[in-house]
Amino acid sequence: MSLANKVLAVNNDLPIRTDKPVHSGKVRSVYWLTEADSKRLIEEKGYDVAPDSPLAIMVISDRISAFDCIWHGEGGMNGVPGKGAALNAISNHWFKLFKEQGLADSHILDIPHPFVWIVQKAKPVMIEAIARQYMTGSMWRAYEKGEREFCGIKIAEGLSNNEKLPALLITPSSKGILKGIPGVPEVDDVNVTRQDIEQHFSSFNFSKASDISLYEKLLTEGFIVISDALEKIDQIFVDTKFEFGYVKDKAGTEKLIYMDEVGTPDSSRIWDGAAFAEGKIVENSKEDFRQLLLNHFPDPDILLNKDRMQERTLLAKENALPEAVLMKISETYIGIAEKIIGKKIILSENPKQEIVNILRDEYNLVD
């Protein structure tokens, strides 16, 4: 079987029983189950959720996005072999660790297949919760231009690129377009201050003001759990993005949980510790792919300048990347996943058919 066939690029066409449109994001597709199927599964499987909770099947793909575009390769390779399985395996590992260490639950109720999560509907907090341990990336670019305040936090003079920050820094940005918050532009993904969040906590979907401290605690403690675990395998947790939301348990109690994904090469920067000790940066995350794209195209400004989005979309659509580029990314993702989980990632020969079989035979969700 060719490599292209092993890649799950299209994940919104599975015959999963649903009465709502399939929501397809950059990487995952979400199938909302019918009310009857949600109720039946909650009862049959004994999930700790309110009996009327809407459930969904979340299917990951091997697609790769960077600079807000989806990229593809030569020979019909519309994704990165092993990427989806690696991302889910890493998230599953960290979510399990968080739960074991008493931090908080996640939105995941069940894992029928390496590409699939059964999740409960959550009310998302409208914040991209970003934590940084090193001065790098977009923050360094802004710092180099003279910026000394990030999300209302003043940063010391004299820091250099890739230097460890004096303390873990929380630099949140908006998730989606938020309206009517003074000083916060009505566009997606803009930096916000803690004061913005405190003064307009309900606009950010917090149930109560005291939950702001809880989200910061879960973000900080989650970061430390991952950072300590990565240190043991000589990897450095540089920065990451978490997302949070509210769900209700079986007793109807509302709780703040982790959602989306955590500590993955898509949502984090991870550096190789041995290389860093020698003064080199070796990325074990999507940052490697971003750098590769910046070096691959003659005009990197197209990828960095938001005003050139139309050109960027065209660039991604019209340029099939060499197979070697996607295979290098595959090695990065599978390599870091195997280090983290401590076992081999087995690639499916036909992931789509496997998913259909399991959801039909074990969950009765395919007609």
pLDDT of residue 230: 98
Domains of the chain, start order: 3-122+342-361 (3.30.200.20), 124-277 (3.30.470.20)
Around 301, how many Cα atoms within 13 Å sit in the side-chain half-sphere?
3
pLDDT of residue 182: 83
Cα–Cα distance for residue pair 40/46, rounded to 1 Å: 10
pLDDT of residue 4: 67
pLDDT of residue 209: 96
Cα–Cα distance for residue pair 359/341, rounded to 1 Å: 25
- Structure tokens, 112: 């029928």
Cα–Cα distance for residue pair 90/111, rounded to 1 Å: 13
pLDDT of residue 2: 63
Cα–Cα distance for residue pair 33/211, rounded to 1 Å: 30
Cα–Cα distance for residue pair 349/162, rounded to 1 Å: 40
Provide φ and ψ at 297, rounded to 5°: -100, 145
- Give the single-character DSSP code of 271: E
- Digit-by-digit pLDDT tens for the chain (367 residues) are 566 677 899 999 999 999 999 999 999 999 999 999 999 999 999 999 999 999 999 999 999 999 999 999 998 899 999 999 999 999 999 999 999 999 999 999 999 999 999 999 999 999 999 999 999 988 999 999 999 999 999 999 999 999 999 999 999 999 988 888 888 888 888 899 999 999 999 999 999 999 999 999 999 999 999 999 999 999 999 999 999 999 999 999 999 999 999 999 999 999 999 999 999 999 999 999 999 999 999 999 999 998 999 999 999 999 999 999 999 999 999 999 999 999 999 888 889 999 999 999 999 999 8
pLDDT of residue 177: 86
Provide φ and ψ at 351, rounded to 5°: -55, -40
pLDDT of residue 47: 96
pLDDT of residue 3: 67
Q: List the end-to-end C-alpha distance of the chain, in Å, as a whole number.
A: 28
Cβ burial, residue 10 (10 Å; 0-12/13-18/19+): middle
From the list 68, 105, 51, the residue with the least C-alpha distance to 259 is: 105
- Give the single-character DSSP code of 46: T
Cα–Cα distance for residue pair 49/56, rounded to 1 Å: 13
From the list 55, 200, 227, the residue with the least C-alpha distance to 127 is: 200
pLDDT of residue 306: 87
| Greatest C-alpha distance within the chain | 63
Q: Which residues pair with 164 in a beta bridge?
A: 134
- Enter the pTM of the model: 0.94
DSSP codes of every residue in 1-20 = --HHHHS----S---B--SS
pLDDT of residue 349: 85
Angle between helices 323-341 and 287-296 (to 10 degrees): 170
> Do residues 341 and 89 lie in contact, with contact meaning Cβ atoms separated by under 8 Å?
yes
Q: Of all residues in the chain, what percent carry a pLDDT higher than 70?
A: 99
Cα–Cα distance for residue pair 125/204, rounded to 1 Å: 6
Cα–Cα distance for residue pair 287/307, rounded to 1 Å: 22
